[in-house]
Amino acid sequence: MNQSFNLCIATETIAKDAQQLGVSIEDLENISIGVSAEIIQQPALQLVLTYQVTLPSQILANQFNWSTWQQTQVNFTDYLWEETCLECFIAGSKIAGCKTDAEDIVAPHQTEPHKISFQQATAYIEINANPDGRYAVYQFKSYRNPAALPPAPLYETDGTTRVSIGWNNHKDLTATSIESLLSSTSTVVQTPAHYERSFSLPITQLPNQQYAIANMKIEQIHPCVILWFGKTDLYFASGHASPPDFHNRDYWPKFEL
């Protein structure tokens, strides 16, 4: 059983972005990004996130900043959103018996009116992953709280070990296929370029088919992606605030696994 997400591009600057990249607006709208979330039992209970990116043309593929996966790069790294970044936000309530952070919640008068609806005591985490193997897992007590950069790492239930991700699929499917097509067809510009990465996060099972990460019950999940083409960054999610804001929980789907 898996939960699937089709991500769409944020359109506020799409005309300017298309011009900078030398493609049409339709080309950018045709970038296909699918994410699947799946819970597997072996070798240990974990949430597996698989990202599939398909570019509609070689023009975009030639400009795409997609790093080759390297085992030596696998480590906790901050500021990954400044490069191509596979992200996922997960929100939920504290498990009974855990300390609450009510004293840290930002009061409504301190925020903009349109943000009050999701400015609440629900904690959430942010996962960042670069295709080359670098990653980060952060924790927030409420909307962008704490506001310090880089954000605070998420720790295991022991309070001292940082949560890490495990990489499951790090094969680049595009580089060789595009090169072979160049010698066999004159329509390579129309040939899609495909990229994929998959990683997992340790979870625990609760009663009634519910799951938790660290001390947080999983209730919402929001996979999203930042793709960089040269110096142009494009934002993708299943739904967007305006301007784009991945932290806005009003646009996060329910967790349905």
What pLDDT was estimated at residue 190?
A: 53
Distance CA 209, CA 225 (A): 28
Number of Cβ atoms within 10 Å of the Cβ of 144: 16
CB atoms within 10 A of CB 103: 6
Q: Which of 14-23, 37-46, 117-126, 214-223 has the lowest mean pLDDT?
A: 117-126
pLDDT (mean) for 99-124: 46
User: pLDDT tens digit string along 158-192?
Assistant: 888 899 999 996 666 554 343 433 444 444 445 67
218 HSE (CA, 13 A, CB side): 28
Q: Are 227 and 208 in contact (CB under 8 A)?
A: no
pLDDT of residue 101: 40
The confidence band for 214, taking pLDDT boundaries of 50, 70 and 90, is: confident
Q: Is the pLDDT reported for residue 210 higher than 60? A: yes
Q: What are phi and psi of 233, to 5 degrees?
A: -110, 135
User: Average pLDDT for residues 198-204, to the nearest whole number?
Assistant: 94
Instruction: Specify which residues 50 forms β-bridges with.
Output: 36, 198
